[in-house]
Amino acid sequence: SLSLSAEKSSILHRIKESYLVWINIMPHIPKSNRYSIGLRIENKFLDLLEISYTAYFTQKTDKAEKISDCIFILDVIKFLISTAWEGKILTHRQYGEIALKLDEVGKMLGGWKKSLKPI
């Protein structure tokens, strides 16, 4: 249906928005952490973008597995970001901004996965 496809593309859009928030944070991360945990988070974001894009175009039979992969990568990103925040690599404001975006993405991915289950 049209609304479902619009919903899926809005998930891709929201993931992209989250990544754009992250790349605006990256230059402000201390150099000693930017190329370790900062780069690791960035690479995970790129994985999430790629796999969510792939999920969007995957046949319905394999879609749930791809979306589960997205949810797992998202959870890793959240874990790394909270670790960076606890290590005072991110400010409260930076953490709040990115965490809010990632929570929205998580809810949307969960909804997308749930929409695939037979009723």
Nearest to 94 by CA among 84, 104, 103: 84
Tens digit of pLDDT for each residue in 1-45? 445 566 667 999 999 999 999 999 999 999 999 999 999 999 999
What pLDDT is attached to residue 117?
A: 83
What pLDDT is attached to residue 118?
A: 75
Contacts 24+ apart (CB under 8 A), 93-100: 94/25, 94/28, 97/21, 97/25, 98/18, 98/21, 98/22, 98/25
pLDDT above 90: residue 101? yes
Mean pLDDT of the residues in the chain: 93
Query: Could you give the dihedral angle defined by the CA atoms of residues 11, 87, 44 and 8, in that order, rounded to the nearest 10 degrees?
Result: -10
For residues 68-93, give the mean pLDDT. 98
Residue type for 20, please?
Answer: L
